[in-house]
Every structure is written in structure tokens, then in C-alpha cells.
A and B are shown apart, each in its own frame.
Chain A
Amino acid sequence: QKEVEQDPGPLSVPEGAIVSLNCTYSNSAFQYFMWYRQYSRKGPELLMYTYSSGNKEDGRFTAQVDKSSKYISLFIRDSQPSDSATYLCAMSEGYGGATNKLIFGTGTLLAVQP
């Protein structure tokens, strides 16, 4: 079993839709949960990170962590064609540094149709 599971998609939605992206994990020691966005032929860029459980909102993006279920989500409201990318979840036991290795999901490919 992988430490982090993520549905690879692809996920295709119409412009303006609400998108839900999810990951599950097995390591209960994970405390930091991140979402990266990766455009084609580019490196990943950090969208949001959350410490422990709860919600975090940033504009059209909301990150949710449910540690009891070992489940994290990223919601995108009013999705735009420019949101079309691969979304990677990542998590770690601590934040940053060589000892707090990031464990990534495989990524979900999202296409927002105009």
C-alpha cells in the first residue's frame, strides 16, 4: 500500500464548476499537508499548506484535512480554464529540512473546459 493515494484522473469539468480533489494517507504521523499545482512542462508550485486538521481558505481554494479519516481535500470554486493543471498532494511529519521528507501523491490531472 502506498503511503499516499491520489486518484490520477483525468478530471474534466466545465468552467465555473466546483472541483474536489482528494488524497488519502496511511501514516498517522503526518502533520503538514500541502497542495502543489504543476502546469505542463513546469515544476510544482505550492498552492496551500495546512497544519494538522481543519480548513484553510485562500481565494477560490479551500484545503481540508480530516486526520481521523486520514483524508485531505482541495476544493476549487468557480473553476477557470487557467486552473487546468496537475494537482499534487504532499505531506510530511514536520515542515521543511532534510529530515521532514515530503511524500507526494501521484497527482490528479484537471481540465477545465471553457
Chain B
Amino acid sequence: SAVISQKPSRDICQRGTSLTIQCQVDSQVTMMFWYRQQPGQSLTLIATANQGSEATYESGFVIDKFPISRPNLTFSTLTVSNMSPEDSSIYLCSVERSINTEAFFGQGTRLTVV
């Protein structure tokens, strides 16, 4: 398994501000992903975090809104920029130790935008 630490676990933010979520893994992993889990909605992939290069975004998600960094094989950040109440959601970090292996999830960051 992989031990994944996400910070913060929850936050309440004012609209128009930005929040950076951190994901730290206990050992090096090949793949890191960011998901969004909105109330009543499916878990949806935002992007794949690529080490040392720009993230790969899924349709409907853009870098200006969700900038992602991955400076090494154990750490990544997701920023939710210029937040609106529609961004209220749970954001989850997911990792795979190597290609074609099980995906592990962090405990999530519960974001409320007011």
C-alpha cells in the first residue's frame, strides 16, 4: 500500500481567493493524479501530475484554474484558483506505485467556498 497525506483536510474559503492542497506520499511513486468529488457526482479526474513538467488535464479542466506542481516523485500540489461556490467539493490525490498497478487515494480535502 501507499501512505498518502493530504493537507489541509478541510477549509472554508472566501470566493475569489485561491487554495493550495498538498499531497505527500511515503515513498516514490510513478503516477500521481488529482480528482474532484462533488456532492452527488462521480469521482472525476482533473489531471495527471507529471514530474518536472506540465500536468496533463482532462477535458473541462484548465491549468489557469487548477495549476498543479510535481517537483519530485513523492509530492504534488493542486491549487484551486479564483474560487467560486461551485468549486466546493472534495479534492483527492491518488497515486500508483508503478504503471498498471493499484491506485491508492488520500483522505481528501473538503473545500467549502462561501
Residues of A within 8 A of B (CB): 2, 4, 8, 41-46, 49, 88, 90, 94-98, 100-107
Instruction: Give the chain A neighbours of B43 by CB distance below 8 A.
Output: 44, 88, 90, 102, 104, 107
Q: For residue A90, which residues in chain B have a CB less than 8 angstroms away from its CB?
A: 43
B53: chain A residues at CB < 8 Å are none
CA distance A104 to B46 in the complex (A): 13
Contacts of B44 in A (CB 8 A): 104
CB within 8 Å for A45 and B100 given contacts A88-B43, A104-B43, A106-B42:
no
Interchain CB contact under 8 A, B107 and A104: no
Interface residues of B in 40-71 (CB under 8 A from A): 40-45, 48, 56, 58
Is A43 a contact of B108 with CB atoms below 8 Å?
yes
Chain A residues with Cβ below 8 Å from B101 are 96
Instruction: Summarize A's interface: helix, strand, loop or mixed.
Output: loop
The answer to whether A46 and B103 touch across the interface, beta carbons within 8 angstroms, is yes
- Which residues on the B side are within 8 Å of A42 (C-beta)? 107-108
Q: With an 8 A cutoff between CB atoms, is B26 at the interface?
A: no
Interchain CB contact under 8 A, B40 and A8: yes
A105:B108 contact, CB within 8 angstroms: no
A90-B43, A100-B100, A102-B103 provided; 5 other pairs, C-beta below 8 A?
A96-B31, A97-B100, A98-B31, A101-B58, A104-B42
Tell me the nearest residue of chain A to B42, going by C-beta.
A104
**Nearest-CB distance from B44 to chain A (Å)?**
8
Q: Is the CB of A96 within 8 A of B42?
A: no
- Is B92 interfacial (CB-CB < 8 Å)? yes
Q: Is B80 an interface residue (CB 8 A)?
A: no
Contact of B4 among A2, A43, A94 (CB under 8 A): A43
* Those of B72-114 within 8 Å (CB) of chain A: 92, 94, 96, 99-108, 110
The answer to whether B107 and A106 touch across the interface, beta carbons within 8 angstroms, is no
User: Which chain B residues border A107 with CB–CB below 8 Å?
Assistant: 42-43
